[in-house]
Amino acid sequence: MQIREARDEDFEGIWPIFRAVVSAGDTYAIDVATTEAEARTLWMAKPRKTYVAVDGEQILGTYTLKTNQPGPGAHVCNCGYMVAEAARGQGVASRMCEHSQRMAVELGYLAMQFNLVLASNAGAVRLWHRLGFVTVGTIPGAYRHPELGLVDAFVMHKWLAD
């Protein structure tokens, strides 16, 4: 597996992953009815960088890296990760997160923050903790889960620089 910066033509392979993850409605605070054009803007144009994890020409996963807050908060970045269903459980998310931390440091960020990690997403919570993120806050009932109703969300943080 190789992780590289996404190119415009990669969106053709990103879109099915994006659509599957977002339409499930159980992890991302993105409208489940997001169109392909809206998704392209959200995933490819708005972030500072977008990356893909590939095996040959097959896109296994993707992530975005962006500044979490402007101005005095611009030293903290935020990332969002999506993995193709067929590639889950193979370490793709872990490798992308490790890669994103290196890229963030190269871009001058001092810390990474995840703003909305659902308490119901036990696999992600476990992975982020294993990779050194600390839960710094809980937002009660922050997410309207399609099956579980209102679920809590965690804010998670990690310093990247010594």
Report pTM. 0.95
d(CA 141, CA 58): 37
- Structural domain including 26 reads 2-159
The DSSP string of 65-89 is: EEESSSGGGTTEEEEEEEE-GGGTT
pLDDT per residue rounded down to tens, the chain (162 residues)? 999 999 999 999 999 999 999 999 999 999 999 999 999 999 999 999 999 999 999 999 999 999 999 999 999 999 999 999 999 999 999 999 999 999 999 999 999 999 999 999 999 999 999 999 999 999 999 999 999 999 999 999 999 976
- Residue 151: which CATH number? 3.40.630.30
Instruction: Give the rounded distance of the alpha carbon of 88 from its chain centre.
Output: 14
Domain count, the chain: 1
Residue that the structure tokens 């370490």 belong to: 91
Alpha helices in 25-75 (DSSP H): 36-40
